[in-house]
Chain A
Amino acid sequence: MGKEKKESSVLGMLREVRDTGMQAWAEAAKVIASSNPFLRLQNLMLQPGLLAAGMMRKTTEAGMAQLLGQLNLPSRGDVLSLSTRMTHIEATLDDLGAALEALRPAAARPVVREARPRAAAAK
């Protein structure tokens, strides 16, 4: 029992040392990562990658649009605009559904017609 406790305390001590070190490291990293020089550097480092990815995307899209056009197939732009139109239709159907739902209680009520006098009806 005593031996186990001793072992635990050795491990505990090691963990304490590790945690203290990590805490100090975390505080320093937090300050550095949110400093303006670091953020600017990070932004700068991102630029070449974004530029290359953007150029590649533009080139691929232009090539694909041309190819799809030649094959008489819808382009990415066509599909995207179709999707937007579908969403608009979906929204309109939703409004119609809600309007019908609002009318339903009125429609379910039995219509009571006033009886007309016979003489008037004969005329």
Chain B
Amino acid sequence: MIREAWDWISAAKGNSVKIATTRAPIAQTPRQAIWTLNKATLYRYTPKLPPEERHPVPLLLVFALVNRAAILDLRPGNSFIEHMLQKGYDVYILDWGCPGPEDSGMRFEDYVLEYLPRAVRKLRSVSGSETFSLLGWCIGALLTTLYASLRPDGLTNLILLTAPLNFGDKNIPLVRMTAAENFDVDRVLAVYGNMPADFIDHGAKMLKPVENFLGNNVRLMDNLGDVRVVDSWHAMNTWLSDGIPMAGATFRQLIVDFYRENKLIEGTLSLRGEKVDLANLRANLLDVIAEDDHITPPSQSDTVLAKVGSADKQELRVPGGHIGIMAGSAAHKSTWPKIDAWLSQRSG
């Protein structure tokens, strides 16, 4: 037992120093910024296949507003973007950047009606393709759903990953946490302007406090001698600890209009006077649901299929959590090939 402990200590020594003193290199796939507006940047990834072997319909990725999009390109060998490039897609990503105090008044309208249409215009001009596919993850999926309902032109395929769309079930922990009697959103925003990243992170972690504050570290300690596990943990922790604040007005809208009043599903949501009608969403739709998602439980995503106007729509349930289905060690076997199989048939 002592020898085993000694072996573990010597193997773990280097790894623990690395974790404690460095940030893991993440988001390394080569890319080029092709458009910017305020803090938002549109990147085009360097294609891996020659043009004749590529799918003609480009793919635009839209991540959430509360963490960095680097999770889609975590590290070589465990990167969704790298996988899609190898499969012949022309991949673009819209990085929202980090909002400053000057952006506290930004609302969903700004993202959906100002930023996204301009980014799409640039994508069309650079790719030379009039049609495109959109993939949104978490709040990015909510943004892309709103966009697809309001500006459906040219959008051929829409992939929603763990999309929080239906807030009708008031017993969902995050819905309860943000209820008016449990959370004073106006007071927080009056103090901070934007919703601080630490608050969002704390709220998400409190949904599974023991696992998030203790369990992950205990699992790391158990495997501190295993370079593969340590590198994977290091990359994920680097991403997790690099949260970004959410623009104040957008956060208020998310809590009041979506979490509390469920306006999208109720059909009462308007953005700049335009009514958001899910029946106008006619793109081919793949709704990816994580079966063990505690942040966006399946019931928040699965009702959208009945509401949209798409003729070609499909639900894909994948075992795993909110992040794990796309960035976990099994994602390259369980989720990515299924997304590619669905998209390749519809990308020309």
Q: How many residues of B contact A (CB 8 A)?
A: 37
Inter-chain contact A40/B211, CB cutoff 8 Å: no
Q: Please name all residues of chain B whose beta carbon is closer than 8 Å to the beta carbon of A53 when the two chains form the complex.
A: 191
Docked pose: A83 CA to B103 CA in angstroms: 9
Q: Which residue of the partner chain, among B1, B37, B122, B207, contacts A33 with CB atoms under 8 Å?
A: B207
Given contacts A36-B182, A39-B182, contact A30 B1 (CB under 8 A): no
A to B contact number (C-beta, < 8 Å): 89
For residues 141 through 175 of chain B, which have their beta carbon under 8 Å from a beta carbon of chain A? 173
Interface residues of A in 65-91 (CB under 8 A from B): 76, 79-80, 83-84, 87, 90-91
A54 to B187, CA, bound (A): 8
Complex CA distance for A11 and B221, rounded to whole angstroms: 14
With both beta carbons as reference points, the residue of chain B lying nearest to A49 in the complex is identified as: B191
From the candidates A4, A18, A46, A101, name the one contacting B4 in the complex (CB within 8 A).
Answer: A4
A87 touches B38 (CB 8 A): yes
CA distance A51 to B184 in the complex (A): 12
In the bound complex, residues from chain B placing their C-beta under 8 Å from that of A46 are 184, 188
How far is it, in angstroms, between the C-alpha of A25 and the C-alpha of B176 when the chains are bound?
21
Q: Are B102 and A7 in contact (CB under 8 A)?
A: no
Task: Determine the chain B residues whose CB is within 8 A of the CB of A33 once the complex forms.
Answer: 173, 206-207, 209
Report the Cα distance A94→B120, complex, angstroms. 12
The minimal Cβ–Cβ distance linking B5 to chain A, given in whole angstroms, is 9
The answer to whether A43 and B182 touch across the interface, beta carbons within 8 angstroms, is yes
Q: With a CB–CB cut-off of 8 A, which chain A residues contact B207?
A: 30, 33-34
Q: Does B306 contact A (CB under 8 A)?
A: no
CA distance A118 to B37 in the complex (A): 55
Interface string of A1-23 (1 = CB under 8 A from B): 00010011011000100100010
**Which residue on chain B has the smallest CB distance to residue A28?**
B210
Is the pair B37, A91 in contact by a Cβ cutoff of 8 Å?
yes
A29 in the interface (beta carbon within 8 A): yes
- Residues of B94-130 whose CB lies within 8 A of A: 100-102, 105, 114, 118, 121-122, 125
Q: Does A26 contact B (CB under 8 A)?
A: yes
Q: Is the CB of A25 within 8 A of B210?
A: yes
Given A30-B208, A39-B177, A87-B37, A94–B118 Cβ distance below 8 Å? yes
Whether B222 pairs with A15 at a CB distance below 8 angstroms is yes
Say yes or no: B210 contacts A26, CB within 8 Å.
Answer: yes
Nearest-Cβ distance from residue B25 to partner chain A, whole angstroms: 31
CB < 8 Å neighbour of B114 from A8, A51, A91: A91
Contact A98 B121 (CB under 8 A): yes
28 interchain pairs, CB-CB under 8 A: A4-B4, A15-B222, A18-B218, A22-B214, A22-B218, A25-B210, A26-B208, A30-B173, A30-B207, A30-B208, A30-B210, A33-B209, A34-B177, A39-B177, A39-B179, A43-B183, A43-B184, A46-B184, A47-B184, A50-B188, A51-B187, A54-B187, A54-B191, A83-B100, A84-B105, A87-B37, A91-B114, A101-B125
